[in-house]
Structure 1
Amino acid sequence: MSSNLIRGTFILTLGTFISKFLGLFYVIPFYSIIGGEDAAALYSYGYVPYTIFISIATAGVPLAVSKYIAKYNAIEEYAVGRKLFKSGMVIMLMTGFAAFLIMYSFAPFFAQLSLNGEETTYTIEDVTTVIRAVSFALIIVPFMSITRGFFQGHQSMGPSAVSTVVEQIARIAFLLAGAYIVIYVMNGSVVTAVSVATFAAFIGAVFGLIVLYVYFFKRKKHLDKLLEQDKGQAKVSLFGMYSEIVVYAIPFIFVGIAIPLYQLVDQLTFSRAMSQIGLADQAVSAFGILNFSTQKLVIIPVSLATAFAMTLVPMVTSSFVKGRMDVVTQQLNKTFEVLLFLTVPAAVGMALLAEPLYTIFYEASALGTDVLRVYAPIAILFALFSVTAAILQGINEQRFTVLSLLTGILVKLSLNIPLIKLFQTEGAVYATALGYSTSIIINLVVIRFYANYSLRPLAKKIGLIIGFNVVMAVVVMALYGVLSFVLSAQSDGPALLITIICAGAGAAVYFVLSQKFGLLDEVFGSRLDGIKRKLRLKKA
């Protein structure tokens, strides 16, 4: 089981990482084309409501459907999953189109909320245009969601990974080409360029959907053979099916919109709080740094958690339904080990190299550096929330996911304005950290109570991970200090060189220590042994 978990997670992680890295690196030319932080804020004004709407429109479909199908596949009732898939296509058509109509129609209202009723760098009409441009993607994305869920329920992660990458490539190609043509060929406005950039979500979705259906028709013979092995004992009506799916899906919706909800809180309160402390003139650019520039960088380590969540739910569900609690415990142990092993050094490294990283991707900015430095460790909290929420789905205690997220959002709402007044832009990050920490604590308490699971057996490994990161941080800081005498982190070329040298040295120290103390073998186990054997054979 652990091997399947690692393999499935690796496939999804690879696809998600490629997608996220593409989504990260496109911001370098895009930022240059559209002209800075104010335009980035405009892009964010459109994308945050879209992300919330798409999560609601898809109703948490990929994970909910994968959990449902995995449950019935485990008892060899394959026809139930196929029935769900066919009827789900109709449901997704209706919810997607309804979400599109609502978002398109209420775009002026969302624009007014985003600007706090005031017109600053951009007008309400400008933001309305951007929101309407991105809303078209809502028609297509739900089809992708249910198809991905169908494949994941069969523990086939390849189609989801490939479609995610193709979707991202198509989106970015259209986004960059469209924005460039509008600005430099047609001499159009930044608002038009950003609108074209957000409409690229629709183009990407079309290509991602095409990939999924190519996979489906290629594998249809195999899927039909499973139907021939169907026991046919489970008689599930469509009403009963969707009643169960709704129970699964509602928590998934909340998990899917967790980060956008936190961003929405910032979108609705940030300008007001900054105005109250006399910084209204800085609000738009600071918001662009908070909700676009730094967020794009911080979300990279979280892609691992997303892949784990997608892989973990059907596997834990299958083990849980069969009553194999020992296997469930093994799966959870492996999940936390790999997650912390990879995300903690990534977040720490990003915080230590905040200045050169921000310079490379955007421009030299004291505020951008400061915000990224405090925001980077939040990636660990994002990852832990995603995975603990997925575990709750797997053990059928998904109702607590809603409770934990709403409690965290309440903490964010309560503290956001006071902390922004105290710490300015960084205050919004502190409020996010406190909100997510609250949610994670609730999730862990519930997992402990209902699955009799504790992180205590992992204490030694967690201690080693923390210790190795401390050593890594000391090495990176010392090397960074020396390089700063001869290289400037405020210029693109030197900043890139500093990042490569420091990140490379830090990674080497971390992995050498992990290998020397046996942590690498303990975390990756047989999978790592298999890779080593293959390397030896190639050398031979």
Structure 2
Amino acid sequence: MSEQQLIRGTVILTASVFISKILGLIYVFPFTAIVGTKGMALYTYGYLPYTIMLSLSTLGVPLAVSKFVSKYNALGDYRTGQRLLKSGIVVMLITGIIAFLALFSLAEPIANQVVDPTDLKGNSYEDVIFAVRMVSVALLIVPVMAIIRGYFQGHQSMGPTAVSQVIEQIVRIVFILLFAFLILNVWNGELGTAVGIATFGAFVGALGGLAVLLIYWKKRGPSLKKQIDESTVEQKLPLRSMYKELLTYAIPLSIVGLAIPLYQLVDMVTFNQAMQALGYDMNVVETYYGAFSQTTHKLIQIPVALGTAMSLTIIPTVTNAFINEEHDRLQRTITQTYQIILFLTVPAAIGLTVLAEPVYGALFGLADLAEGAEVLRSYAWIAVAFAIFAVTAAILQGINRQKWAVIALLAGLAFKILSNTLLISWFEVHGAILATGIGYIIAIAINIWAIKKYANYDYTFVFKRFLLVCLFTGMMAIVVGFLQYGLMQLLPINTRMDALIILAVTVLSGIVVYLNLGIRSGLAGQILGERFKFLNK
């Protein structure tokens, strides 16, 4: 496979991931309007354990299968990949059933951990159990989808994965919004019922994604069969050897992919109790938790998605340069990756910090504006850490040192586990945010060290660029902050439209200031000029 094809495939996948994340953000606005932050907290109680169980049941299968199938296809052995697919579907069905039964059975212990059955002010014990059990059904289908996607990717066919991901997300979102609205506003149902049925949207969305994959399979089946019939080699690997090789690829990918859900899991099992210990009412606690775990978290994923989608398209070049021992090209590519992620995420994160109040008010309404803006202002900077960790972990994968990314994740997570309750007792909701931030900084430091050591990378130039990005971001923040202050004197945020007007004017001004500084200095052209030619002018 040529480098150009490899990059094209990565672009397709990253574009689909970006679209899925944007869709995943957009639906949060109407869903929050329907169920409120209390409902969002309940949704998290169900969906977060599902996310972790899904990762454990699939173990990074799509990428691992892709790598395995691609390797043997390159040797002219198409039968080995097909054998893996056939046996893998059976294995994924079994792991999916086990994961479903495990999560269904764990619903009560999870509910016991996150809510007090005797507390009538927050979400009820029964509602949490219902939400967990409804979302668990999706585990019967999604692992099977994972191996089919990986098989297509191994044949350098990225379209099935990309299209199925987007369709899965669209079907899920339509189901969630439609039934949440109908249950609460048409059928006068309970909040717990509406949110529980909404979590079932994961299963309905999975059906949509699987249908897309089966359509692709029917369409491309004859050509795949022809390749298999024309195989020039057959390794005849025993299944044990095949799965041993597959797991060496899959486990590091799976663990690193669990980074954010694992951090959120620590918060799910400790946040409510720690905040109640400080004397907060459960309604207030769940308002903060809903803002922290869902609404503001979705917002900070925008710069993360944009930055990583653009920078990760470079990762195949890192792998190619490393394998071919092209040291200078490897250094340039890593430098370009860092520059893109910093140039895009730093100003976006600081912008969210400065504009926390109009951002939250415009997108989520004024009901919980004080709490939501407070959390967003404290949380936004971690977007940079999320993005840098994802990119540095991918670079380590590219240079075949992914074990260091796993070590980094475990070190940061250990800090989060040990410090979360203590920091919450000191700084309330900001303590949980601080524990996440410091944990990620620890992980990033280890990744950066490993890249320096094993890629022999010099960070001097990137550090200078980081300082320049910070300078431009600071100038942008000053302009935006003064403009926001002046507008809020003339137009206090009393309605959602007030917040939207302030947000539109300040964001546009911030973009103009930052891009103007970037273009005039030549920084924007040097970093993104190959993608956007006008930045070179």
TM-score (norm 1): 0.90
Match of 1:387 among 385, 391, 404: 391
Residue 224 of structure 1 and its aligned partner are, at CA, apart by 5.7
Contact 1:41 1:285 (8 Å CA) reproduced: yes
Q: Which moved more, 1:169-178 or 1:508-517?
A: 508-517
Equivalent residue, structure 2, for 1:501: 505
Matched, 1:130 2:134: no
Relative distance call for 1:418 and 1:303 in structure 2 (3 A) is same
The answer on whether the counterparts of 2:487 and 2:502 sit within 8 Å (CA) in structure 1 is yes
Q: Does 1:24 align with 2:28?
A: no
Distance 1:502 1:355, change over 3 A: same
**In the alignment, is residue 37 of structure 1 matched against residue 41 of structure 2?**
no
Contact 1:302/1:383 (<8 A) preserved: yes
1:84 paired residue number: 84
Q: Which runs of 5+ in 1 are unaligned?
A: 534-540
Distance 1:383 1:73, change over 3 A: farther
CA distance in 2, matches of 1:467, 1:3: 35
Separation of aligned partners in 2, 1:469 and 1:506: 9
Match of 2:349 in 1: 347
Residue 430 (1) aligns with residue 442 (2): no
Equivalent pair of 2:37/2:290 in contact (CA under 8 Å):
yes
| In structure 2, distance between residues paired with 1:473 and 1:229 | 61
Whether the 8 Å CA contact 1:152–1:311 is kept in 2: the answer is no
User: 1:223-264, CA deviations, whole angstroms, 9 ceiling, x for partnerless residues?
Assistant: 567657866275543322211221222222222221111111
Secondary structure of the 1:485 match is helix
Q: For 1:129-528, list aligned pairs within 5 A.
A: 129-220=130-221, 223=224, 232=233, 236-281=237-282, 282-304=284-306, 307=309, 316-317=318-319, 319-364=321-366, 365-528=369-532
Partner letter of residue 197 of structure 1?
A
Asked whether the equivalents of residues 12 and 159 of structure 2 are also in contact (C-alpha less than 8 Å), the reply is yes
Worse-superposed segment, 507-516 or 428-437: 507-516
Distance (Å, rounded) in 2 between the aligned partners of 1:116 and 1:305 = 40
SS for the counterpart of 2:250 is helix
Answer whether contact 2:322 2:398 (CA < 8 A) is retained: yes
Amino acid at match of 1:19: S
Count of paired positions: 532
Q: Structure 2 counterpart of 1:341, which letter?
A: F
Q: What is the deviation of 1:198?
A: 0.4
Distance 1:327 1:90 in 2: 43
Give me the whole-angstrom Cα distance separating, in 2, the residues matched to 1:8 and 1:357: 34
CA deviations over 1:388-446 (Å, ceiling 9, x no partner): 22222232222222221111111111221121112111111011000011111111212
3-state SS of 2:489 partner? coil
Pick closer, same or farther for the CA change 1:307–1:47 going to 2, 3 Å: same
Give the residue type in structure 2 aligned to 1:101: L
Question: Contact conserved, 1:48 with 1:260, CA < 8 A, in 2?
Answer: yes
1-structure distance, mates of 2:521, 2:74: 39
Greater shift in the superposed pair: 337-346 or 352-361: 337-346
**What letter corresponds to residue 297 of structure 1 in structure 2?**
L
- Per-residue deviation, 1:46: 0.6
Q: Which residue does the alignment assign to 1:60?
A: 60
Give the Cα separation in 2 of the matches to 1:275 and 1:46. 21
- 1:532 and 1:65, CA in 2 relative to 1: closer, same or farther beyond 3 A? farther
Identity %: 46
Give how far 1:323 is off: 4.7
Which secondary structure state, in structure 2, belongs to the residue aligned with residue 478 of structure 1?
helix
Residue 112 (structure 1) aligned with residue 94 (structure 2) = no
Task: Report the Cα distance in structure 2 between the residues aligned to 1:344 and 1:14, rounded to whole angstroms.
Answer: 21
Contact 1:45 1:131 in 2 (8 A): yes
- Specify every segment of 5 or more residues in structure 2 that has no aligned partner in the other structure, as ranges: none
**Which moves more between the two structures, 381-390 or 4-13?**
4-13
Q: For residue 457 of structure 2, give the secondary structure of its aligned residue in structure 1.
A: coil
**Shift of the alpha carbon at 1:449?**
1.8
Q: Tell me the equivalent position of 1:538.
A: none
- Relative to 1, partners in 2 of residues 1:131 and 1:403: Cα closer, same or farther, differing over 3 Å? same
Distance 1:372 1:290 in 2: 8
Q: Which amino acid aligns with 2:201?
A: A
- CA distance in 1: counterparts of 2:230 and 2:332, whole angstroms: 29
Give, as a single letter, the amino acid of the residue that structure 1 aligns with 2:443: S
RMSD: 2.8
The answer to whether the 8 Å contact 1:309/1:390 transfers is: no
Pair 1:531–1:378, CA change in 2 (3 A): closer
**1:308 to 1:425, Cα distance in 2 relative to 1, 3 A:** same
Q: Secondary structure at the match of 1:279?
A: coil
Most deviating of 89-98 and 146-155: 146-155
Deviation at 1:14, TM superposition (A): 3.1
Query: Given residue 285 of structure 1, which amino acid in structure 2 is its aligned partner?
Result: T
Corresponding letter in the other structure for 2:425: K
Q: State the distance in 1 between where 2:305 and 2:84 align.
A: 28
Question: Please, what TM-score do these two structures have when normalized by structure 2?
Answer: 0.90
Distance change (3 Å), C-alpha of 1:37 and 1:100: same
Judging changes above 3 Å, is the alpha-carbon distance between structure 1 residues 371 and 530 closer, same or farther for their aligned structure 2 residues?
Answer: closer
Deviation at 1:288, TM superposition (A): 1.4
- Cα distance per residue 1:117-169 (max 9 Å; x no partner): 65442232221001001111111111222233334445544433322221111
SS in 1 for 2:189: coil
Contact 2:134 2:199 in 1 (8 A): yes
